[in-house]
Amino acid sequence: MNLPDDFITKYQGLLGDEAPAFFASLTTDENTAGYRVNPQRQVPAKLTAAPGVPYAPWGYFGGVKGRSLAHQSGTVYSQEPSAMFVGATAAPQPGEKVLDLCAAPGGKTTHLASYLQGRGLLVTNEINRKRVRVLAENVERFGVPNALILNDSPDTLSPVFPDFFDKVLVDAPCSGEGMFRKDPAAMDYWSLDYVQDCATRQREILTEAVKMVKPGGQLIYSTCTFAPEEDEQMMAWLVQTFPDFSLVPVEKTGGVVDARPEWADGNPDLAKAARLFPQLLRGEGHFVAKLQRSADAPVHKVKGRAKLGQALTNDQRQLWQAFAREVLGTVPTGDLVTVKDQLFLAPSDLPDLKRAHVFRPGLHLGTFKKNRFEPAYALALASDPQRTAHTLAIDLDQWQQWVHGDALTLTEAPAKGWYLLTCDAQSVGFGKVVGTTVKNFFPKGLRFTVYPEDLL
List pLDDT tens digits, range 351-360: 999 999 999 9
Annotated ligand binding at 184? The verdict is: no
Within 8 A by CB and 6+ apart from 193, the residues are none
22 neighbors 15 (Cβ within 8 angstroms) = yes
Write down which residue in 329, 361, 382 finishes a domain. Answer: 382
- Residue 452 is predicted with a pLDDT of 86
pLDDT in tens, 50-99: 999 999 999 999 999 999 999 999 999 999 999 999 999 999 999 999 99
404 and 262, same structural domain? no
The pLDDT, as a whole number, for residue 334 is 82
pTM of the model: 0.96
Distance CA 413, CA 372 (A): 22
Q: What is the pLDDT of residue 1?
A: 73
Give the phi and the psi of residue 223 in degrees, each rounded to 5. -140, 165
Least Cα distance to 446 among 34, 113, 71, 111 occurs for: 71
Q: At 172, which CATH number? A: 3.40.50.150
Phi then psi for 265, rounded to 5 degrees? -100, 10
- Cβ(78)–Cβ(70) under 8 Å? no
Nearest to 380, CA basis, from 72, 126, 125, 25:
72
- How confident is the model over 394-448, as pLDDT tens digits? 999 999 999 999 999 999 989 999 999 999 999 999 999 999 999 999 999 999 9
Indicate whether 24 belongs to any domain: no
Q: Are residues 340 and 276 in the same domain?
A: no
Distance CA 132, CA 156 (A): 16
Would you tell me how many other CB atoms lie within 10 Å of the CB of residue 357? 16
Looking at the structure, tell me whether residues 184 and 210 fall in a common domain: yes
Does the annotation list 106 as a binding residue? Answer: yes
- Determine if residue 413 is labeled as part of a ligand binding site: no
Residue 32 falls inside a structural domain: no
Amino acid at 204: E
| 205: in domain | yes
104 is in an annotated binding site: yes
Averaged pLDDT for residues 380-393:
96
- The total number of structural domains in the chain stands at 3
Identify whether residues 434 and 342 lie together within a single domain: no
| Residue 139 shares a structural domain with residue 213 | yes
Q: The domain that contains 429 carries what CATH number?
A: 2.30.130.60
The answer to whether 176 is annotated as binding is no
Tens-digit pLDDT profile for residues 270-297: 999 999 999 999 999 999 999 999 999 8
List CB contacts of 171: < 8 A, sequence separation 6 or more. 86, 100, 101, 102, 103, 108, 222, 223
What are the pLDDT digits (tens) for 17-27? Answer: 999 999 999 98
The answer to whether residue 311 is domain-embedded is yes
Degrees to nearest 5, angle at CA 364 with 361 and 365: 135
The residue among 309 and 38 whose pLDDT is bigger is 38
User: Same domain for 146 and 135?
Assistant: yes
Helix residue ranges per DSSP H, 171-290: 192-209, 232-241
Give the end of a domain, one of 264, 293, 322. 293
Mean of the per-residue pLDDT values of the chain? 95
Q: Is residue 130 part of a domain?
A: yes
Establish whether 113 is an annotated binding residue.
no
- Claim to verify: residue 378 and residue 418 sit in the same structural domain: no
Q: Binning pLDDT at 50, 70 and 90, where does residue 310 land?
A: confident
Catalytic-role residue among 174, 198, 224, 423:
224
- Gap between the terminal Cα atoms of the chain: 31
Q: Which helix (H) or strand (E) holds 314?
A: helix 314-323
pLDDT tens sequence across 322-349: 999 999 999 888 899 999 999 999 998 8
Q: Which domain holds residue 315?
A: 305-382
Asked, for residue 40, whether it belongs to a domain, the answer is no
The verdict on 149 and 88 lying in the same domain is yes
Phi then psi for 19, rounded to 5 degrees? -60, -45
Domain boundary among 353, 382, 411: 382
CA distance 456 to 452: 7
Confidence at residue 244, expressed as pLDDT on a 0 to 100 scale:
97
Are residues 231 and 252 located together in one domain of the fold?
A: yes
Burial 382-398 (b: 16+ CB within 10 A, else e): bbebeebebbbebeeeb
The reply to whether 38 falls in a domain is no
164 and 218, same domain (yes or no): yes
Q: What is the pLDDT of residue 28?
A: 85
Q: Is 423 annotated as a binding residue?
A: no
- For residue 16, being part of any structural domain is answered with no
What is the pLDDT confidence band of residue 456, given thresholds at 50, 70 and 90? Answer: low
Q: pLDDT (tens digit, 9 = 90+) per residue, 247-278?
A: 999 999 999 999 999 999 999 999 999 999 99
Claim to verify: residue 127 and residue 266 sit in the same structural domain: yes
Is residue 198 annotated as part of the catalytic site, yes or no?
no
The rounded distance, in Å, linking the Cα atoms of 383 and 392 is: 13
Q: Tell whether the model's pLDDT for residue 303 goes beyond 80.
A: no
Residues 446 and 419 both lie in one domain = yes
pLDDT number for residue 333: 80
Mean pLDDT of 42-52: 94
